[in-house]
Amino acid sequence: MRLDSLTPVLIEYRYWILIPLSLVEGPTVALITGSLSSRGYFNLYFAYAIFVVKDLVVDASYYYVGRFAGETSFVTKLLAKAHITGAQIEHVRFLWDRHGWRTMCVGKLSWGLSPAFLATAGIVAVPVAIFVRYALGIALVQYGVLMAFGYYFGNAISSASQAIRVVGYIIAGSALVALVYVRRRLRA
């Protein structure tokens, strides 16, 4: 499927398609939505609200999975198989208590590990109000930056198809730079 053929589908279904797409890959979709907002295809503030609410619902789901499943025998056996001791759980509790913002930031921005980080908040019983405050703060900043970045670059690009293509190049370039950086760090 070519990106040019994807643009009319995105334009026709606009907000309805944002919800499932943001569940699959929220940051990338937010960047593209920001660039399409600059061309008038989306209301920037309404789309931003969709992303933030979606993020809060997903984060709260992971939290509650950790909160209620953390006490089951299955999870206890799973933690024992992974050689996770009570002292390590206490260390995680300490991290959430003393460095909650940092822990949430690392957890939410760790691609692929985010559900586990957020579930640990439930396992160690971080108060719900504090967890929501951390999740909301990080989501507001994360999606605000991504959508502003997309809006800025989308405004500089002439068409929606070209905007999607350029955003794809930016993401591919960023991934390549990150890969080279990680490989160098692993070799050192």
> What tens digit of pLDDT does each residue of 154-172 get?
766 556 566 677 777 777 8
Distance CA 40, CA 26 (A): 20
Distance, in Å, from the CA atom of 121 to the CA atom of 65, rounded to the nearest integer, reads: 10
**Residue 29 contacts residue 146 (beta carbons within 8 Å):** no
Which pTM was predicted?
Answer: 0.68
- HSE (side-chain half, CA atoms, 13 Å) at 19: 5
- Eight-state DSSP code of residue 115: H
Per-residue pLDDT band at 6 (split at 50, 70, 90): low
For residues 4 and 31, which has the higher predicted lDDT (pLDDT)? 31
- Residue 70 three-state SS: coil
pLDDT digits (tens, 9 = 90+) for 75-133: 667 666 666 666 777 777 777 778 778 878 877 777 777 777 778 778 777 888 888 89
- Burial (CB < 10 A; 0-12, 13-18, 19+), residue 35, is buried
CB 60, CB 136: distance < 8 Å: no
